[in-house]
Amino acid sequence: MSHRGTLLRGACIGLGTVAALAACRTPVEQLPVTPIQRPVEAPCCEGAPDGLHLEYLGVGGWLIRHGESALLTAPFFSNPGMLDVALGRIETDTALVDTFLPPVEDVSAILVGHGHYDHLLDVPYIARVRAPSARVYGSLSTIHTLTGDPELDPGRLVSVEDQAGDAGAAGEWIEVEGGSIRFMALRSEHAPHYMELNLFAGHHVEPLEGLPDRASGWLEGQTLAFLIDLLGPDGEPVYRIHYQDAAAEPPAGFPPRLPDRKGVDLMIVCVPGAEQVNGYPEAIVGHLAPRRVILGHWEDFFRPRTEGLRLSPGTDIDAFIRRVEGALPEGGEWIMPLPGLISTGPVRTCESC
């Protein structure tokens, strides 16, 4: 049984926006993307981590490796069209997943920020076939959704909703296999899609008996952000990443003040939806003051990647970048990567390292 809230009303209203949104797609040639590999720098200090592999997979998907640990944030490649999302049936395009997903057999954790189809639809196949040892971490509703795949071992599905922190209280750290990465879930929110309406909101309150075949069945659940720490040989954090896969009204998604007092080195922010809420991303960027902000989820996920990249419909990328730039600390920078680009490092920034 599922609680669908304003789902049906939202879907009907959303249909009326399809034509308008489809007309607002900027091709990648006109976007301020970073067309080359970029290093991710670390501070000059003893114990700065070597061997970080950070790869943008597209939409909310990232591949992070450090030391003996590897994790994914929910990748998505199938990209059904707007009409299929609004009216038809959707399913994983396994050929597209296999074409664009790099080798991930070593991944032991898949982090899911929320349960909408563009974050979760491809996860069952990836977890079963491409990352067969990975556990999937998300909200209870997300876990109830994934339980609908009869071939996916329920013992690999982990709800972190009760262990999540927020701006006022720390959550539980979970160490990734290999001991070089850990993460903490943070309670967050999802910006409305249009005119204060959040499509496909609600929770699956019981395990499903089958995976949804319509976009409306992939319910949001509790949206989560994540702190992701790269750990040094002593188990202490040497590099900290804040990851958010949905724009949110502040202070949703803010981390608490932690005993180690370590700041955030790198933020991954979500471009779509910022115009629907106040203060995103500038409030959280200004609060955390990272050296780098990476813009994610910026491309049109209603369009097959094989047909070329375009900006997510209805997105004012120039306004978003101005908001980021206005909140960055002195010397900070933003990067808007193409899917498939890899940042390696972090590299040390002075010879004495």
For the chain, the average pLDDT equals 86
pTM, 2 dp: 0.88
Choose which CATH entry (1.10.10.10, 3.30.590.20, 3.30.465.10, 3.60.15.10) describes domain 2-7+37-345: 3.60.15.10
Q: In this structure, is the dihedral angle defined by the CA atoms of residues 13, 214, 309 and 276, taken in order, positive or negative?
A: positive
Question: How distant is the alpha carbon of residue 284 from its chain centre?
Answer: 16
pLDDT cut 90: percent of the chain above it: 74
Question: How distant is the alpha carbon of residue 346 from its chain centre?
Answer: 21
Domain positions in the chain are: 2-7+37-345
Q: How do residues 167-189 score in pLDDT, each as one tens digit?
A: 999 999 999 999 999 999 999 99
Q: Give dist(CA 21, CA 17) in Å, integer.
A: 6
pLDDT at site 12: 30
Confidence of residue 350 (pLDDT cuts 50, 70, 90): very low
Q: What is the average pLDDT across 239-244?
A: 96
pLDDT higher than 70, residue 276: yes
pLDDT higher than 60, residue 208: yes
pLDDT at site 308: 87
pLDDT higher than 50, residue 1: no
More reliable by pLDDT, 64 or 11: 64
Q: Give dist(CA 96, CA 167) in Å, integer.
A: 38
pLDDT higher than 60, residue 11: no
Q: Identify whether the C-beta of residue 180 lies closer than 8 Å to the C-beta of residue 69.
A: yes
More reliable by pLDDT, 246 or 45: 246
Confidence of residue 194 (pLDDT cuts 50, 70, 90): confident
